[in-house]
Structure 1
């Protein structure tokens, strides 16, 4: 594998997934790590110079190619994997969490994550847990029985469940993590932003005008909502409240987990709020026309920036589209705009 090189971060002008080490602020470096077999292609890990080592925001997926690239990136910075003192993880999805746990076993780095992720991690490490179980049940609730059956029959590699252990500690909302040598201390405020997952957090460095945003605010795409082992009742409602929370805080430069740097938080939050307002309107219109299940409503909408129909998506993204539609329908029901009625395991929605 080619040794990574150090560059100033080109932002949107470059390929954000290209391996390398990208300086995006003084003593802050973006390291994109690969996500094989994943449409996102890469995850940004941020290395922050710390006292006699590094603190990393997020960690990557515990795969050999990811580890090799991370080791090479740290070598460019004059360090190694043993110099990582701490991982601050935004949420418990495997592409953010599992490499932290794997490297902890070998080098002893501390792994910290938001307190709200405890139910998800407890569920994942529970004996007998399968990643598919909860998602299959949600598809059946959405009326997508055929898709649920097809996905249940798909082979799943053991690596999907590898690398899960409890963290060293859970971070409370508004806790402050101090990073950096004594002469240049940073104060990273932990801000709970549930929605993408129930315990997602971002790290705000107000003095440096930076927000390490994880998957909560992404510059080019909208994050999935509530795709986790233990979702809340209305994850979309949680997500919209969390977006407004960031809008009410000081603006900052956006350091996302997927996509290029270079945007401002408030600008992108406005776009995400507008997007979900439009989707709620379209979802309600489809329900008013007589489509009663999440599967039926999803089939009336278009998906991705290419405006694809539901059958044009692959199975995984079809599932994600249906579950996102379910989240929008549940929020409309919570607001009293739609009613719900369960027929067996299937939830049907209707106007009052």
Structure 2
């Protein structure tokens, strides 16, 4: 698969933009575009030039999700080429930078940071990061897509596989062979995709992400092309490993509450991740919240007065030893 490796110092390491080209049909498509910084813009322009293309030649852009390290340059490329920008309908308003959609996300983030117990100084640092990081790029005019939709781009046929959790609209794009897929941040080869903080719109984020991992395991791809770093040669094993990681994290959270008593998400996050800075100020407690929220819905913990506490007698289907399981 032809990929252009792009710089990224903020989020999960190197990004990938994938080039799909059919020279006979004069069709050129990109899967993801990278972040809107000068260095990454240069990386992408030079990578395309090495292949004999420029931004103006791009016919289609397929975005795995709205995050700026994947969609940041989409609007700029579209302005030069009039390319069609495809993204899941849940993420389309954010790729378009619709003011109402952006305001809703910002308000929800403020509410959750308060609920999670994030201190004022950390909230101020996070806000300063968002204000100083001019990386979102220009708005695009996206074409919304949905699960199961087929895209004919760059001489290839891609099936849209909705894979929410990390983001509400995250999608994988399965190739015509059915053996491979572009997976964005649904699976990463080194880190585990953040859930809970990466997209505050997602309700019950860990449950949604576990369902996504189930779906990818069931499809049992031979290889997938991740949004960051190198391709994953054994994606089913990687998905299983990420599930195990979340089981272990759930157990660590239960042990902390058992040892220390009721606590808010920020306090538990500090135990798990230590000191946080930059974007991780929302990612750390967000992921912790995703687990605590999962445990609350399973009847293992209660949320009262801003803190989570273990229930002496778990209710419903919950149990002290229940971890994240395949559905």
TM-score for both structures, normalised by structure 2: 0.85
Q: Which moved more, 1:118-127 or 1:187-196?
A: 118-127
Question: Given the alignment, which residue of 256, 265, 269 partners 1:294?
Answer: 265
Is the counterpart of residue 47 in structure 1 residue 19 in structure 2?
Answer: yes
Deviation at 1:229, TM superposition (A): 5.7
* 1:120/1:230 contact within 8 Å kept: no
Matches within 5 A, 1:1-352: 28-35=1-8, 37-50=9-22, 51-118=25-92, 120-121=94-95, 125-126=99-100, 129=103, 133-151=107-125, 154=128, 156-157=131-132, 159-167=134-142, 169-181=143-155, 186-207=156-177, 209-228=179-198, 230-289=200-259, 290-301=261-272, 303=273, 310-311=274-275, 313-341=276-304, 343=305, 346-352=306-312
Deviation at 1:320, TM superposition (A): 1.6
CA deviation digits over 1:35-75, x for unaligned, max 9? 2x515342101001133131111111122322222121112
Greater relative CO, 1 or 2 (CA 8 Å, sep 6+):
2
CA deviation digits over 1:56-96, x for unaligned, max 9? 11111122322222121112112222221100000000111
> How far, CA to CA, are the matches of 2:30 and 2:7 in structure 1?
16
* 2:36/2:72 contact within 8 Å kept: yes
> How far, CA to CA, are the matches of 2:71 and 2:7 in structure 1?
14
> How far, CA to CA, are the matches of 1:81 and 1:316 in structure 2?
30
What SS does structure 2 have at the residue aligned with 1:116?
coil
Figure out how many residues of one structure are paired with residues of the other and give that number. 308
Q: Which moved more, 1:117-126 or 1:267-276?
A: 117-126
* 1:132/1:152 contact within 8 Å kept: no
> How far, CA to CA, are the matches of 1:226 and 1:165 in structure 2?
26
* 1:206/1:252 contact within 8 Å kept: no
Deviation at 1:31, TM superposition (A): 0.5
> How far, CA to CA, are the matches of 1:160 and 1:283 in structure 2?
34
How has the CA–CA distance of structure 1 residues 178 and 316 changed in structure 2, closer, same or farther, with 3 Å as cutoff? Answer: closer
> How far, CA to CA, are the matches of 2:12 and 2:98 in structure 1?
22
> How far, CA to CA, are the matches of 2:223 and 2:101 in structure 1?
41
Structure 1 moving runs of 4+ over 6 Å? none
